Homo-oligomer: A and B are copies of this chain.
Amino acid sequence: MILTVELQSSISLDDQIRNQLREMIAVGVLAEGQALPSVRQLASDLAVHFNTVARAYRRLQDEGLLVIGHGRGVFVKAVPRRVRVPAREARESLGGRLRQIFVDARLIGLTPVQTRDLVLSELEQFTRKERS
């Protein structure tokens, strides 16, 4: 379980853990049914409190990505392969976050072309990871 957290980050520990697990699940690094480390195990690895890991796990369960068995452990649930058209609201949320990134890229001094290259490069890396 290769995770890392930064105490001094502005992102909460909960969210740091959650984001990384979500990514691994979405990409398929963590396969369906696979057991995750116990809350205490992962907490010890990350040097955080096990309650923090437990909360991250629970939120991922709420999202439908994990199944938690009290006393048994935590397991990866199937990544929903649903092709259903995503809610307009969800798409708009993604769009807003994308715009924020474009703004930051612009303010950092990236040209539109450079930004486009960066985005496409990251996207390609992501999809490649997913396939393998």
Interface residues of A (CB under 8 A from B): 19, 22-23, 26-27, 63, 65, 79-87, 90-91, 94-95, 97-112, 115-116, 118-120, 122-123, 126-127, 130
Q: Give Cα distance in the complex from A100 to B13, angstroms.
A: 16
Q: Give Cα distance in the complex from A106 to B109, angstroms.
A: 29
Secondary structure of the A contact surface, majority rule: helix
Are A122 and B99 neighbours in the complex by a CB distance under 8 Å?
Answer: yes
Are B79 and A107 neighbours in the complex by a CB distance under 8 Å?
Answer: yes
Q: Say which residue of B80, B81, B98, B111 sits within 8 Å of A101 (CB atoms).
A: B98
Q: Give Cα distance in the complex from A100 to B101, angstroms.
A: 11
Are B94 and A80 neighbours in the complex by a CB distance under 8 Å?
Answer: no
Are A108 and B123 neighbours in the complex by a CB distance under 8 Å?
Answer: no
